[in-house]
Chains A and B, each alone.
Chain A
């Protein structure tokens, strides 16, 4: 009985400490709201993909369907049936529709070397990388090129691959937002 009471006291202490630490974390996050002069108590966090469109095509159009997007995801489906060197360029728009400044912390790809491996059958390139900071209401536009490699001795016809490019946005702290764009 005594042991159980002791254990519960320890659990309560741990939980109280967790709440305090998380509270401190929140306080840090909310500081940007104060610096930006946003007096709203109920802020909105909403960073989303708001447009995807093909802006350039060289060679036979490989689109199986038009690209689609829904807030946090965009999707394209290609079937290269033409010649090596054929490519498409998609322009993608990300918008901060919320009331909190956002920062692009990183973007990661799967496969990891998507933008760097020149031995791939299909090459990917990113142009005009998205802005690192997005104030409320701001948009950023960048482009992704997908090209059938024309520098290989051999292309494996009939192959299929799926790729993912992930952009990780988080709340930008007030001081961070004042930094010059990278």
Chain B
């Protein structure tokens, strides 16, 4: 019985020694940690800042004043005779922190709209025009009665066009 007790004591002592030596060994290594917490709070904000009529030719007139939101500009014009036209300057401003680039211009019209009314876009070019942070793009949109059509054509007399400017991060 006494022998068993001695063995128990020996086992306990040896285990204490092993634990002690393990602690001693672990003290001779160190892990140094560099921890980082990074947030990206950059801002992607660009939109239409104004629309303004800059030129009128012939008897062209505004049926209603142009207006705009951040994403949409709207105008409504009347053309009385061939060659009449109105030109609008639409400003697009980048108030965010990321540089942008004009990726694509898409023009879509109603299928039954008048072929005598032309739309022309100037001042920007897809895949070329840059819009840096804080910068501005001036887009000139001209609506014109194509002079090759006279007053007597019998097709539709109005044309609704949607022009989409697709900007991406550059």
Using CB atoms and an 8 Å cutoff, list the residues of chain A in contact with chain B: 4-5, 8-9, 11-12, 15-16, 18-19, 22-23, 25-26, 29, 45, 47-49, 52, 60, 62, 64, 72-84, 92, 94, 100, 102, 121-122, 144, 146, 148, 152-171
Q: Which of A100, A156, A163 has the most CB of B within 10 A?
A: A163
Given contacts A76-B36, A166-B32, contact A81 B27 (CB under 8 A): no
A162/B35 in contact, CB under 8 A:
yes
Determine whether the beta carbon of B25 is less than 8 Å from that of A12. Answer: no
Judge whether B30 and A83 touch: CB under 8 Å: no
B97 touches A83 (CB 8 A): yes
Most-contacted residue by chain A among B8, B33, B42 (CB, 10 A): B42
The B interface is mostly helix, strand or loop, or mixed, namely: mixed
Once the chains bind, are B25 and A25 in contact (CB under 8 Å)?
Answer: yes
Stretch from B15-23, B110-118, B156-164 contacting the other chain: B15-23
Q: Are B31 and A77 closer than 8 Å at their CB atoms?
A: no
Interface residues in B129-170 by Cβ distance below 8 A to A read: 133, 168-169
Contacts of B43 in A (CB 8 A): 81, 157
Closest to A83 in B: B97
In the complex, the 5 A-B pairs of residues with the closest C-beta atoms, listed nearest first: A15-B14, A81-B41, A167-B32, A165-B34, A170-B29
Once bound together, how far apart are the Cα atoms of A22 and B17, in whole Å?
10
Known A15-B14, A162-B35, A171-B28; judge A148-B169 contact (CB<8 A).
no
For B32, list chain A residues within 8 Å (CB).
Answer: 47-49, 72-74, 94, 166-167, 169
Is B2 engaged at the interface, CB distance under 8 Å to the other chain?
Answer: no
B99 interface residue (CB < 8 Å to A): yes
Residue of A nearest to B133 (CB): A83
Q: How far is the CA of A23 from the CA of B18 in the complex (A)?
A: 10
Given contacts A15-B15, A170-B28, contact A75 B35 (CB under 8 A): yes
Take A9-B7, A170-B28 as given contacts and tell me if A156 and B168 are in contact as well, using a CB distance cutoff of 8 Å: no
- Please name the residue on chain A nearest to B8 by beta carbon: A8
A154 to chain B, nearest CB (A): 5
CA distance A124 to B38 in the complex (A): 11
Quick one: which of B14, B33, B40, B99 contacts A158, CB cutoff 8 A? B40
Contact of A80 among B11, B22, B25, B39 (CB under 8 A): B39
Given A73-B35, A80-B38, 12 more A-B residue pairs with CB atoms under 8 Å apart are: A19-B17, A78-B38, A80-B39, A80-B42, A83-B133, A94-B32, A148-B42, A157-B41, A157-B43, A157-B98, A158-B40, A162-B36
Cβ-defined contact, B21 with A12, below 8 A: no
Contact A5 to B4, CB < 8 A, known contacts A82-B42, A157-B40: yes
Instruction: Determine the distance from Cα of A44 to Cα of B3 in the docked complex, in whole angstroms.
Output: 41
B98: A residues at CB distance < 8 A = 83-84, 155, 157
Q: How far is the CA of A112 from the CA of B39 in the complex (A)?
A: 19
Contact of A45 among B4, B27, B34 (CB under 8 A): B27
Bound-complex Cα distance A84 to B141 (A): 32
The answer to whether A148 and B40 have CB atoms under 8 Å apart is: yes
B129 to chain A, nearest CB (A): 16
Complex formed: what's the CA distance from A116 to B131 in Å? 30
B11 lies within 8 A of A155 (CB): no
**Is B38 a contact of A161 with CB atoms below 8 Å?**
yes
Q: Are B40 and A92 in contact (CB under 8 A)?
A: no
